[in-house]
Structure 1
Amino acid sequence: MRVPARGARAHEFLARCCGCPAAPCILQAAEGFVSFVNDAVSPYHAVAASVERLEAAGFKQLTEREEWHVEPNGRYYVVRNQSAVIAFAVGGAYVPGNGFTVAAAHTDSPCLRVKPVSSLTKSGYLSVGVETYGGGLWYTWLDRDLSVAGRVVVAKPDGTFDSQLVRIRRPILRIPSLAIHLNREVNSDGLKLNAETHLAPVMATVVKSQLEGFAPTSAASAAAAAAPAGTGGAETRHHAALVSLLATELGVEPESVKDFDLCLYDTQPSAIGGIHNEFIFSRTCTGARVYWCACATTRSCMVLNTARIAPCAAFLHLRMQRAWIT
């Protein structure tokens, strides 16, 4: 039996992922990955994008609150906390006691995340306090057109709370570099960043924000100090302009926004590049490439004659992924 070369195996794998019979599907597979990366601007959006693609491939959702009825040749998925998803395909020849073929990845990537209390004001500018998440190359975040994405906890009229995904598609933040005449040694000594003081993105000027009708930061700080611990809306911990923008995007009142978990992301989309279309230009390929390949394989898995279950899992944290595998 002739064993195909490594390149042929890669072509065969990509062909299965995108459903094409031959090597020209490589570009289509790459486009599918780029589309996924552009949708997965936060861990929560990564799960939502995965669910959309799983359902398009015929997977059915299961819930942990109900008894599962899993059948051979079936395809299923389950979501937890909007941040983790497990999909699995049951082989047609599976019987209880057979094994599993497991693939796991993580939905998060190194990024800057909005702090629980983020309102900062300095030198007439409104900034957003952020924290580093993961091991990132933080200098690459400078001078980029940044925005925010994640999930928002909204109070409903009946007294319950709802968690909704949000993505601001236009650039609203920027971390500017220091002008060269204020840092003459940067090209010889390298750029040295303090994560607490140098990475807070600028959002607006104080004057413009007040002219737009938003309370100054001092008033918001006073309201936060007067509010009992654990009470009050998001406007007591974040700039009112940011809370208002999130509320407008979700179609709710700013007072209904109680809390949120937001990641910064670059609004410049990932793309296929190079003169021969052989590269993928992207800032967030860390965990996405592993998960997309695993999920694509699970979606296209031919289970008719398989005697195993093929699960693919994606968790919010990398360590959770490693613990699940071991």
Structure 2
Amino acid sequence: MSAAVHTQSEFNAGLLDFLRASPTPFHATRALAERLLAAGFELLHEGDSWLLEPGKRYLVTRNDSSLIAFVYGRSNLVDTGIRMLGAHTDSPCLKVKPRAELNRRGYFQLGVEVYGGALLAPWYDRDLSLAGRVTYRDEQQQIASTLVDFKRPVAVVPSLAIHLDREANSNRSINAQKDIVPLLLQLPAEEGSLPDFRSLLHAELQASQPQLAVSQVLDYEISLYDTQPPAIVGLEQDFIASARLDNLLSCYVGLQALLEADDQVSSLLICTDHEEVGSASCCGAKGPMLEQFLMRLLPETEARIRVIERSMMISADNAHGIHPNFMEKHDENHGPLLNHGPVIKVNSNQRYATTSETSAFFRMLCEAAEVPVQTFVARTDMGCGSTIGPVVASEVGVKTIDVGCPTFAMHSIRELAGVQDGWNLYRASVGFFRYTAAPMALSSAL
């Protein structure tokens, strides 16, 4: 089954479908896996014995929220290396606490924890829903997990009226413990028990997945998300507005590019969870998932090191476009524009993993694909975010470049990107996965 996209509009239509299907990292991983399986990838299980064969395509997941997809090329791995593209499945959000139920003056609310570096103000006055993973006991007393998505608006975080806070537009701070608690229900005036959130999840599963025969919900990992769907916006339809563009846009780019990979050489897509909180988990970039996959692929140490030396990783994560209202927040020579091409991200303190070699190779890919390319360097007097790039480079030893599509409002509940940039990064990534020589077989400077 071919899943090729041939036009920018076709690419963006698929992106919007993917974003709608992916309110949480669990759903994003499932959406990626469904598309890969439909394209002929074989699902592997980490607990099974593997016998990987050149010419085949494989897929493995971990924690339901991270994924590796691998095209095993027919050419010798030591000769060609592996083309790797990495992104992350998680985004800043509000996560429901384990004992979340609150009754405040007859209003049923859920206690939440802020996940990652979220911009909190945009969460006010949004039509919110709930989604995530639920772990339950079935009627045979077996423990299993499933995904849930309420889909409909079930919660809201109302703003405080300006009449009660006259400095709201000039001096309002947000206390994450008490000011951002979502409202779900007005309780009856008469005395009654507080709704149990696990019971609400049980009822939702019975309604949406009755075949599961859920006996008891034991625990959950549930997030709130905005039900406003992604959209192409602007007077001339220049922009994509959506939640979770950071970094599902890059996941989708990697997916579509891998589906176009050359079968003669080996290519790999890795999309990991927990980047927004440091990647330190069994399924995060600091965990052993990629290293363990490479060890199973290449058990012999010397061969594995030789392959890694000839390989390259593109760490794809969104970049900060220069905001027309806040231009002073950028270095004057490094302010990427939306719809002007993917951005190479550079930081001398290794917050990004880009080197002159990996940057030069990516520029060559963009030139061959007739894709414009930009550069981002943070202001010297400002801090700089990071990505999975330095993590993978240090953990695995693969030469890495950090790139991304320029965006506005990063870490907001609704971010903004250009309609051309994901398409252009996809075109460059297709060239990467079709590059038949070893990407990093370079002559030494010594």
TM category, shorter: 0.7 to 0.9
TM superposition shift of 1:290: 1.6
* Equivalence for 2:378: none
* Equivalence for 1:128: 110
* Whole-Å separation in 2 of the counterparts to 1:185 and 1:325: 47
Task: Look up the equivalent residue of 2:271 and give its one-letter code.
Answer: A
TM superposition shift of 1:93: 1.7
TM superposition shift of 1:71: 2.1
* Equivalence for 1:12: none
Q: TM-score, normalised by structure 2?
A: 0.59
2:234 is the alignment partner of 1:274: yes
* Equivalence for 1:198: 179
Aligned CA distance change for structure 1 residues 253 and 74 (closer, same or farther; 3 Å):
closer
Task: Look up the equivalent residue of 2:207 and give its one-letter code.
Answer: T
* Whole-Å separation in 2 of the counterparts to 1:314 and 1:33: 16
Q: Is the 8 A contact 2:139 2:215 kept in 1?
A: no
Aligned-partner SS, 1:140: helix
Candidates 66, 75, 85, aligned match of 1:103: 85
* Whole-Å separation in 2 of the counterparts to 1:157 and 1:255: 5
Task: Look up the equivalent residue of 1:124 and give its one-letter code.
Answer: G
2:12 is the alignment partner of 1:30: yes
RMSD: 2.3
* Whole-Å separation in 1 of the counterparts to 2:51 and 2:213: 41
* Equivalence for 1:249: 208
* Equivalence for 2:43: 61
TM superposition shift of 1:146: 0.2
TM superposition shift of 1:243: 4.8
* Whole-Å separation in 1 of the counterparts to 2:118 and 2:35: 28
Aligned CA distance change for structure 1 residues 240 and 72 (closer, same or farther; 3 Å):
closer
Task: Look up the equivalent residue of 1:198 and give its one-letter code.
Answer: D
* Whole-Å separation in 2 of the counterparts to 1:17 and 1:254: 36
2:73 is the alignment partner of 1:91: yes
Task: Look up the equivalent residue of 2:193 and give its one-letter code.
Answer: P
Aligned CA distance change for structure 1 residues 259 and 167 (closer, same or farther; 3 Å):
same
- What is the number of residues matched between the two proteins? 281
* Equivalence for 2:341: none
Deviations 1:279-305 (A, max 9, x none): 10112111111221122211211223x
* Whole-Å separation in 1 of the counterparts to 2:44 and 2:198: 39
Candidates 230, 245, 253, aligned match of 1:293: 253
Task: Look up the equivalent residue of 1:272 and give its one-letter code.
Answer: I
Aligned-partner SS, 2:112: strand
* Equivalence for 1:151: 133
* Whole-Å separation in 1 of the counterparts to 2:132 and 2:173: 29
Q: Is the 8 A contact 1:119 1:129 kept in 2?
A: yes
Aligned CA distance change for structure 1 residues 203 and 133 (closer, same or farther; 3 Å):
same
- Runs (5+) with no aligned partner, structure 1: 1-15, 221-234
Give runs of aligned pairs for residues 200-239 of structure 1, distance below 5 A. 200-207=181-188, 216-217=193-194, 235=196, 238=197
Q: Is the 8 A contact 2:199 2:217 kept in 1?
A: no
* Whole-Å separation in 2 of the counterparts to 1:325 and 1:55: 29
Q: Kindly, what percent of the aligned residue pairs are identical?
A: 34
* Equivalence for 2:345: none
Task: Look up the equivalent residue of 2:250 and give its one-letter code.
Answer: V
* Whole-Å separation in 2 of the counterparts to 1:112 and 1:44: 15
Task: Look up the equivalent residue of 1:46 and give its one-letter code.
Answer: A
* Whole-Å separation in 2 of the counterparts to 1:253 and 1:71: 39
* Equivalence for 2:94: 112
